[in-house]
Amino acid sequence: MRHTKACVVVLFVLSASAALAQQPTGAAPAKPDEQKSVLSEVTFLTGYRFHLGAASIQADDPRFGWDCYFGGDIDVVDYRYGRINLLADYEVMLGEEFRSIDPNQGNYYLDLSASARKGSAEFLGVFHHVSRHLGDRANRAGISWNTLGLKAIGTRASGPTTITYNGHLAKVLQAAFVDYAWEMGGGGEVQYRLSRRYGVLARADLTMMGVDRAVGNRDSQMGGKVEGAVRLYGTGAGIEAFAGWERRIDPYPNERETQNWMIFGFRFISR
């Protein structure tokens, strides 16, 4: 965990330095007007998005009853052609194994990314960290992994319909307990505004985790999720009610087993 924190700090400093550097070494000093133009293209804390939600899991396993999560991301620096973004999410799984409300695990997700914009698309270099922990259960071994990869996201709008899409490919740099070696996936969402206040959505995503067979003695794992939702728009935020199906890779931290289940839930989102 100490190495992970160090990597995050180093990556943040390097990314911020690259974004703020506007002229090559050895170049003549910029004139006052040029300096003002360069500085006006760099802005700070330009965007913030927050989410909070919970999903009821329809599974026979008593360890999986509710999947609750919250988090957000912030655009720390925007340099016109791209941005530096920091994301932090926390997830807690509630079951009924030992008591009626039994939080058996907590998972942390951290992303640091730098991007380049091209039309309606954006291309990002992403450092991703996942750390998983059991709740009220003995486990002294660390369970975590770090990846470094590329991600592409885009948006298309036509009248009341908005389509967003994404794809990613990443290499696992460090892994504790897990057998993951690389990750790739993609997804999309179609949103249709029925009115100023209401809309309907359909979304899907697919993830493949490549593995090191010497660690877990299994093949690459496939996971994904399909959802349908109704959204209510407020003046500063929105709320969704959704239903769907999920195939989750390794839902319990120290077990290598994929499970399928139906989900029903809600989430609050910022606009």
Specify if 234 maps to a domain.
yes
Specify if 33 maps to a domain.
no
> Which range marks the domain in which residue 224 is found?
2-18+42-270
Q: How many domains does the structure of the chain reveal?
A: 1
Q: Does residue 134 contact residue 142 with C-beta atoms inside 8 Å? A: no
Q: Residue 222 region, left (φ>0) first, then alpha (ψ -120 to 50), else beta?
A: beta
pLDDT tens track, the chain, 271 positions = 444 444 433 333 334 443 333 333 344 444 445 444 545 689 999 999 999 999 999 999 999 999 999 999 999 999 999 999 999 999 999 999 899 899 999 999 999 999 999 999 999 999 999 999 998 888 878 999 999 999 999 999 999 999 999 999 999 999 999 999 999 999 999 999 999 999 999 999 999 999 999 999 999 999 999 999 999 999 989 999 999 999 999 999 999 999 999 999 999 998 7
Q: For residue 167, give every residue at least 6 positions away whose Cβ sits within 8 Å of its Cβ, in sequence order, or none.
A: 151, 152, 185, 186, 187
Specify if 24 maps to a domain.
no
Specify if 232 maps to a domain.
yes
Specify if 30 maps to a domain.
no
Q: pTM value?
A: 0.82
The CATH number for 67's domain is 2.40.160.40
Specify if 215 maps to a domain.
yes
Question: In the prediction, which pLDDT does 87 show?
Answer: 98
Specify if 113 maps to a domain.
yes
Specify if 29 maps to a domain.
no
